[in-house]
Amino acid sequence: MCGIVGYVGSKQCLPILLSGLKRLEYRGYDSAGIALMTDSGLMISKAVGKIKMLEEAVNHADLQNINCSRGIAHTRWATHGEPNELNAHPHTDNFGEFALVHNGIIENYRSLKEYLIRKGVIVKTETDTEILVHLIRQNYKGDFTAAVRDALSQVEGTYGIAVISTLHPDTIVAARNGSPLVVGHGDGENFVASDVSAMLEHTNRVVYLQDGEIATVTPSSYAITTIQNVRITPTIEEISWTLEMIEKEGYDHFMLKEIYEQPTTLRNAIRGRINFEEGIARLNGLNLQYDELRRIKRVVITACGTSWHSALIGEYMIEELARIPVEVEYASEFRYRSPIIDDTTVLLAVSQSGETADTLAALREGKKHGSTALGIVNVVGSTIARESDGGVYIHAGPEIGVASTKAFTSQCMVLALIANLLGRMRSMSPAHGQELMTCIQQIPDQIEQILKNERVIKEIAQTYHAKDNFLYLGRGINFPVALEGALKLKEISYIHAEGYPAAEMKHGPIALIDESMPVVVIALKDPVYDKVMSNIAEIKARRGRVIAVATEGDKEIVDKVDHVVFVPHTHHMLTPLLSVIPLQLLAYHMAVLRGCPVDQPRNLAKSVTVE
């Protein structure tokens, strides 16, 4: 998604804006730009490609020596208009008095464009964003914030914007509707950004703008009003994240760092949430009393991408441990269906960023139909977290790599805790609860064991990294892990990979099997082990190459497959937290060997805040 950074203060703003953009690179982008408020007016520089290209453009325009302490900057993930310098943000009005950056989509930009052209405005680009800055100019009558407010009241769609003007050189006006925007509060300086990572090295005191809010920011103040011009008292939040949490700390990529963080992040997900004596999870954030938990008749889990895979795992956990029917819905589908839910249905929205547009819309749809909506979210203060009736933070810390890894395992851990809690409200005995809790507490150490196998996995990647297709198979609760393994490979190595229930292979995919098709099979010592071994035999009979994820101590599998990575034994319902680790590392090493930009895969964004 697009990234926005703005600064008003007394320091030179160019380095602050450029380093802020670098902190937002993980969001995915294809061009970048900057607007500086100088004594001789607005200075704009833009470039296609990475921020390094923008830095070269800034130096080429000799802007690096300009004395300037106010400005805005942007990384663009193209929606309307191809990725080129003309379409890159910031966009300016015809008089060069306003500059604007935007994240989101203006749905009615065409009709607004016709209106503006009739008023004599010259529109220079194919973007919806440019229309916004002309509209603000059209509405300007001396009050900068009022001009933005009046322009936005004509707009349909989503936006996070930051605007500067030569007519008010000390001010940034920012506004939010659907695309996240944060105001950072410093000493004699203030910031605006798409997320806190862009300002963390300067301040950890932030105000999250809500939908329909406008911030008027100067070096010494910020005032927040609504689009209806109602004054809001801002709530300052102190962010607990530290700078090193958003640095690579010696790892080649954020993704590898985050894979290795999983023992720690899972300990954080568990911490304070286990009542071992009663074998029950303690999840006060759900804001549900025991009798309300007992009244739940059905659970719908909605999410996208990797979070949808953890949701599928949650379905197996809750149905097995709590005997409550669960349905998992793609958020993008759920939001447009007329779902059959009522006040005995609980809707769980799973989202690392807490800003995914489809998941947020699904949450709102569920609430409209009377369900209790709970969020399983990583980013504190995110929109889904704030709009849920309750929920559980997964405490995985900032996940910078576009490919989700530590958030996935922490989502699965929280879903296991929820399944335990719901189960103990029903027929799950304290002893069974305690058995599950014992296994839960062993998971972080067991992942540390698996990570010691990285070299084995890297060697497997060396054998197969030139392949163009992969098949991933799993059964039961490990079928969603096969889907997740395939997604990881797809999104960072660009290899076509499909996940399938192992038994489905004979209904089609087996036609793909030959010596050129590597097949990853999750073959743990579980109730369906023998069935999976039959599937492996079917693959081998057709000269397929099999990479197995197996349970430590399984001697039988070794000479039936081409490669095997072992994971420790655990409670069947927790096996996905272990079986996914080798698949994360395999995808990572395949992508590295293929020379792919692991942390910022082409066309992808870390948080999809547009439909």
Residues labelled as active-site residues: 2, 606
129 or 356, CB closer to ligand AGP?
A: 356
Q: Is 216 in the site for ligand AGP (CB under 6 A)?
A: no
Instruction: Give me the 385-414 binding string for ligand AGP, x by CB under 6 A, dash otherwise.
Output: -----------------xxx----------
Instruction: Tell me which of 353, 409, 584, 609 binds ligand AGP, using CB under 6 A.
Output: 353
* Rounded distance between C-alpha atoms, residue 183 and residue 206, angstroms: 6
Q: Is 383 in the site for ligand AGP (CB under 6 A)?
A: no
Scan residues 483-522 and list those touching ligand AGP (CB under 6 A).
491
Of 143, 177, 163, 146, nearest to 4 by C-alpha is 163
75 or 307, CB closer to ligand AGP?
A: 307
* Rounded distance between C-alpha atoms, residue 397 and residue 375, angstroms: 16
Q: Which residue has the tokens 């690579």?
A: 248
Q: Is 608 in the site for ligand AGP (CB under 6 A)?
A: yes
Stretch touching ligand AGP by CB under 6 A, among 56-64, 163-171, 302-310, 364-372: 302-310
Instruction: Tell me which of 460, 607, 609, 610 binds ligand AGP, using CB under 6 A.
Output: 607
400 or 416, CB closer to ligand AGP?
A: 400
Helix pair 430-451, 575-593: axis angle to 10 deg: 20
58 or 361, CB closer to ligand AGP?
A: 361
Indicate the residue whose CB is closest to ligand AGP: 305
172 or 585, CB closer to ligand AGP?
A: 585
Tokens for 595?
């020379």
Q: Is 329 in the site for ligand AGP (CB under 6 A)?
A: no
DSSP class per residue in 404-426: --HHHHHHHHHHHHHHHHHHHTT
* Rounded distance between C-alpha atoms, residue 386 and residue 427, angstroms: 32
Please count the residues of this chain forming the interface with ligand AGP, following the rule CB under 6 A: 15
- The one-letter amino acid at 255: M
**In sequence order, what are the residues at sequence separation of 6 or more whose Cβ sits closer than 8 angstroms to the Cβ of residue 316?**
476, 477, 480, 573
Q: Is 359 in the site for ligand AGP (CB under 6 A)?
A: yes
Stretch touching ligand AGP by CB under 6 A, among 15-23, 30-38, 353-361, 420-428: 353-361
Instruction: Give me the 136-165 binding string for ligand AGP, x by CB under 6 A, dash otherwise.
Output: ------------------------------
Of 362, 303, 299, nearest to 330 by C-alpha is 303
Q: Is 262 in the site for ligand AGP (CB under 6 A)?
A: no
DSSP class per residue in 550-594: EETT--TTGGGSSEEEEE----GGGHHHHHHHHHHHHHHHHHHHT
Scan residues 333-352 and list those touching ligand AGP (CB under 6 A).
351-352
Phi-psi region of 225 (alpha: psi -120 to 50; beta: other; left: phi over 0): beta
Q: 3-state DSSP call for residue 450? A: helix
Query: Do the Cβ atoms of 330 and 366 come closer than 8 Å?
Result: no
As separate numbers, helices (DSSP H) first and strands (DSSP E) second, the chain gives 18, 27
6 or 401, CB closer to ligand AGP?
A: 401
Q: Is 584 in the site for ligand AGP (CB under 6 A)?
A: no
Q: Is 299 in the site for ligand AGP (CB under 6 A)?
A: no
Q: Which residues would be at the binding site for ligand AGP (CB under 6 A)?
A: 304-307, 351-353, 356, 359, 402-404, 491, 607-608
